[in-house]
Amino acid sequence: MSNNMEINMQPESRLTDSLLGVNELSYQMPPSLGIATQARHREEFAQINSYTVSSGGGGQTVVFDSQTGSSFVDPKASYYVFNISHNKPALDIGFGSGSIANIINTVTVRSRTGKEIGRYENFNLLCKYMDRVQESQEFLSSTLKAQGYSVNREGKSYADTVPSTGKTYILRMSSIPCFSPYNCKMLPPQMMEGLRVEFRLEASVVAFCPNVLASVIDTTLTYTLNRPSVQYKCYDLADAFARQIAMVASKSGLRLLHKEIFHTITSTAGSQSNWDLKKAASKALNCMIVLRTTANTTLPNVDCFASRVNDIIRYQANIGSVYWPNQPLTIPDVADYYQSYYYSMYGAGKLYGGFPSSLTPEQWAGSVDADIKNVVYNNNFIMINLNSSNVSDLVGMTVNNSRALLLDVLRASSGTDVRFDSFLCHLRATTVFTSNVTVLD
């Protein structure tokens, strides 16, 4: 029997085109898939030109009111710009293990009608750990160096120096969870026009730390933000597509799905810690717990965002009769931490390929070396994965007042007051109508 295609079959034109494409012999221009008529880079400024913050904090709030009009905004390409200076030219100070996000205590996002779309307390701590867990070392040392992350530490230097004369840093807009939706790339004008973003600033002695052991920060340290701005990447769509989206917004609404973060704090001086997270949400995805010495969270002269050195010997979480893991994860020797590190990386979703975490097991566990305490980044955390699907990270557990997430942690030491910052990640659905916004957890 002959295998000659001309004898066995006469290919149709569509099949011929497909075969040419498979064999990389297609010489036609690909179809244009873009529907935007114009792309623009838009700069907008905060309500006030300058913000000065002392060691006490003072409750200063940077406010941005979006005026993007009918344009669609790409949050992945948009960012905030902060030029920061301080009043201590003799000090070698920096952001330690964090970044420019250190200066932001709380982020609040509201629609033009005042509806709260997202609130992120202790945003500086959350941003530091999410970036260091989710991003690769190469990304931190290249692109995110513009955000203030320092990776090349030599000698007694803890981080890159922030000069007193001022330096400009960026903060990715997508670092704010509600600006990183699942089901779309661009944020619609029905949401962005009139949107208000508020950054409540952190105290100076918390945001900064010395880069060398000899440096001492006192309560007279202040920092100043000069002309903070936001840089939007905007697109104008062709009229036919813009009208279609506007029609959907006026009838059923534009549905945006994103990961929301609920933050709680508990503390104890004992070795045994039990607490619950009472947050009503239909899909709880994971929970990250960061352990810090309570005194160090506001103490000058230390990195306030560095964790304690790993001393956890057992932990477990449960919702009702469902436990993670089924038997408590027990580590009799705190120096034998590889399993605990691996389980936390599983909780962070880093076992399924993609970019590896920037944290090695040693950087995760931390160090107690007193001679180099200012050049060691301690990044210890626990991550509990509540997802119930192996093909999607959007299938979580229901939590509420009667089905709270219970956490049980046993440490090898006691006597020092320890603060547990818990960040419960759950899904939030925001429906954007022409004139208002609804939020559903």
Residue 62 corresponds to which tokens in the numbers above?
A: 């940077």
Q: Is the Cβ–Cβ distance between 266 and 86 less than 8 Å? A: no
Q: Is the Cβ–Cβ distance between 347 and 407 less than 8 Å? A: no
Residue 161 corresponds to which tokens in the numbers above?
A: 């120096």
Q: pLDDT tens digits, residue range 80-138?
A: 999 999 999 988 899 988 999 999 999 999 999 899 999 999 999 999 999 999 988 88
Which has more pLDDT, 5 or 436? 436
Q: For residue 359, is pLDDT > 60? A: yes
Q: Is the Cβ–Cβ distance between 192 and 97 less than 8 Å? A: no
Q: pLDDT tens digits, residue range 5-29?
A: 455 555 667 788 788 878 878 787 7
Residue 413 corresponds to which tokens in the numbers above?
A: 């030491």
Q: Is the dihedral of CA 303, 307, 310, 313 positive or negative?
A: positive
pTM of the model as a whole: 0.90
d(CA 228, CA 326): 49
Domains of the chain: which residue ranges? 36-440
Q: Is the dihedral of CA 12, 29, 186, 398 positive or negative?
A: positive
